[in-house]
Amino acid sequence: MKVVVERVKSYKEVEKFVEKVFELFDLEFRYLKPNFLKFDNPENGCVTHPDLVRAIVKVAREHGIEPTIVEGGFYKDSADKCFERFGLREIAECINLNTDEFVDVRIGGKALESVKVAKTSLKARESYLTVPKLKLHHLATITLGIKNNMGFLKKPAIYMHRNIHQKLVDLLSFFQPSLTIIDGIIGGTNSEMRPKPVKHEVMIASDNVVAADIVGARLMGFNPSEIQHIRLAMENFEISESDIEVISNPGMERMVKEYSLSISSRMLRRLGI
């Protein structure tokens, strides 16, 4: 399995990276799932940058794909605010999953038996491109491709917090993206809701979300096997780091930055909330 990692210094240059990704991978998708946790200035490192979303839509159309953008977010109107204020409704159909009809789905996992998911997500799960942000999460440690699946769930999804790592892997058995593109040009350290922006200048892509998250974790200064949901996913899907072919420019070791949770985020982690 391949993971592409490149130095991309600004969002003005991101379209070239997207074009390369479309050339490297055999892509079939109909839905695009960013991380719009809340409406925020995209320079703050909290949400997937709209310039990246626009670049993906543009290149997808050049390849005969007409994507629909789907997202929920923390608040009921998070996605709608992002769609409107980022001008995304002008370039593609956009669906706020938080206002969608919800259906019960049996997961049958080790920790997650069933969930309520947006009805549109059942269509999306057949062929979607996930576009998470490179940032931290107080419970999951990092929030990349595997964690981005939580946007499909009915909110509030606080039931996911207890034993979150196994639940994320259980959910991944149901929702598996065709492609993962991780937005790390501006990353987010300290916390997921109010991150401190990190000028990381890196983009990551893979047709295997676990592999993408492994590489993303490395670039954030973590040992992937020490992040529980990544380790569990590696075991569950029988993936090891030695299986991954990293196509990197420049070398990965030159693009690593150290991310760490703020004191308040660490307190929330200890409390398990």
Give pLDDT tens digits for 49-108.
999 999 999 999 999 999 999 999 999 999 999 999 999 999 999 999 999 999 999 999
Q: 216, 254, 248: which is closest to 233 by C-alpha?
A: 216
For the chain, which domains are there?
Answer: 2-271 (3.40.50)
pTM beyond 0.95: the answer is: yes
Average pLDDT over residues 99-119: 97
- Reported as a pLDDT band with limits 50, 70 and 90, residue 266 is confident
User: Residue 190 CB: number of other CB atoms within 10 A?
Assistant: 21
Half-sphere exposure of 219 (CA within 13 A, CB side): 36
Mean pLDDT (the chain, rounded):
96
Nearest by Cα to 207 from 12, 66, 29, 69: 29
CB 173 within 8 A of CB 158: no
Work out the average pLDDT over 171-192.
97
Average pLDDT over residues 238-246: 96
Q: Is the pLDDT of residue 268 over 90?
A: no
What gap in Å lies between CA 210 and CA 144, rounded to an integer? 10
What local confidence, expressed as pLDDT, does residue 77 receive? 97
- Contacts for 82 with CB less than 8 Å, ≥ 6 apart: 34, 36, 39, 47, 50, 71, 73, 88
